[in-house]
Structure 1
């Protein structure tokens, strides 16, 4: 395990401990962040922890503050709390997205689900899952061929596409944390997202699940382990929606 991955996991563990304390300041609203959303106390506190842990390994670009140090040849793309609205609403689907980018190429990435402790890690040499409580134990990530649902992020914004997917009996959920959903892509039938492509939302997740069938442009992201299903959904999106 690299020093960077160790530091990223340590940041996740520190943030998880902070959330367990449940201080009321975590729920306070602040100003609009660099990503365009209103920052909560939890976003800013998690960002500070991540910057402290990760800044020795590259320049940090965060959803909340933008560039926290000057851009360089090694940059860290950070969403300190992906799904912060879920956290505020006590819906257990929120976490942290961290990607290390060297000379324009992602070389290490981690996504942590703070609600259940799942951690997904990919480096140039490894791809595995671990947990907050037993981070020294690595487990192989295998494709779930029994999956019954996909994940369609921002589904309520696309009612016509929702209808077309339901007509084809392509069930889905829309849990509201894109980075997490991209990381969980091997476990579900598909992941679909239409909307603004922000690096802190997608950089880590795209790298983590790059072994799947993936389409990614400025309009939408589609991930699927099954080629036939991938082509079916892409056809629906391309030919019937756009």
Structure 2
């Protein structure tokens, strides 16, 4: 059954990716503006397409997405969807964004897909099975020295989380090779899973941004540490390749 779910997730992500790719660097209609984020009309349109595709195969399932939820809360299967992770990048013409789709059974993630439609990179994972990038098995990096590591620190929306991320940046930057800021949490996790990055740390992140990526990292040999902020929805997160020691990074 997980493979059936994965097949639907892949087909759905590819369709949504094609939709986003066709609208990239076109006129963008902004629907909401925030201090450190924006919402665009395409977020909703992409999620509508994803929901329709999933419900076509599984009309009885629940779907939780960044742009709203649908279906029965009593369903043992729940799809967790981010139709466009990296909206600011997309809006500004930066070609670094993705679709993230995860499938959970009784709260446990059993399948996940992250698709970068610009690079046409499809990250997949399922229980059981190996995580893959475009059909090839991937593993996290083996780098164990901070001085050789490259990682991402995410800066969330609130003043408090931005301050914590800034303190962490100044703590880590002398110790590591490089710190990056990319704008897509799901791709950050996918990159940890395939060895491009060695760690990713975020003070506050939503479940739809990370559900598929967590499975990818864990299946690739990496390590995930989370701390719930809002149970089931919002978390602090630390993802590593499984070899680095980042125990000194905590969420107090």
Bin for the TM-score computed over the shorter chain? 0.7 to 0.9
Provide Cα deviations, 1:3-54, integer angstroms capped at 9, x if missing partner.
Answer: 322222222222232233338887212258xxxx653122112101111111
Moved more, 214-223 or 79-88: 214-223
Q: What is the TM-score when the length of structure 2 is the normalising length?
A: 0.79
Structure scoring higher RCO (CA < 8 A, sep ≥ 6) equals: 2
Provide Cα deviations, 1:139-169, integer angstroms capped at 9, x if missing partner.
Answer: 0102334674112121892222111111223
How far did 1:170 drift?
4.8
The answer for the alignment partner of 2:48 in structure 1 is 48
1:17 paired with 2:27, answer no
What is the rounded CA distance, in whole Å, between the counterparts of 1:223 and 1:53 in structure 2? 30
Secondary structure at the counterpart of residue 221 of structure 1:
strand
The answer for the alignment partner of 1:193 in structure 2 is 202
The answer for the alignment partner of 1:109 in structure 2 is 112
How far did 1:128 drift?
2.9
Runs (5+) with no aligned partner, structure 2? 229-234
Aligned residues: 225
The answer for the alignment partner of 1:6 in structure 2 is 7
Residues 13 and 99 of structure 2 are in contact (CA less than 8 Å); yes or no, is this contact kept in structure 1? yes
1:69 paired with 2:71, answer yes
1:215 paired with 2:219, answer no
The 3 A distance-change label for structure 1 pair 163 and 114 is same
Residues 150 and 189 of structure 1 are in contact (CA less than 8 Å); yes or no, is this contact kept in structure 2? yes
What is the rounded CA distance, in whole Å, between the counterparts of 1:4 and 1:25 in structure 2? 32
Runs of 4+ in 1 over 6 A off after TM superposition: 23-26
The 3 A distance-change label for structure 1 pair 160 and 112 is same
The structure 1 residue matched to 2:140, chosen from 128, 134, 143, is: 143
Provide Cα deviations, 1:35-77, integer angstroms capped at 9, x if missing partner.
Answer: xx65312211210111111123321111012x22222211101
Moved more, 150-159 or 90-99: 150-159
Q: Is the helix fraction higher in 1 or 2?
A: 1
Runs (5+) with no aligned partner, structure 1? 132-137
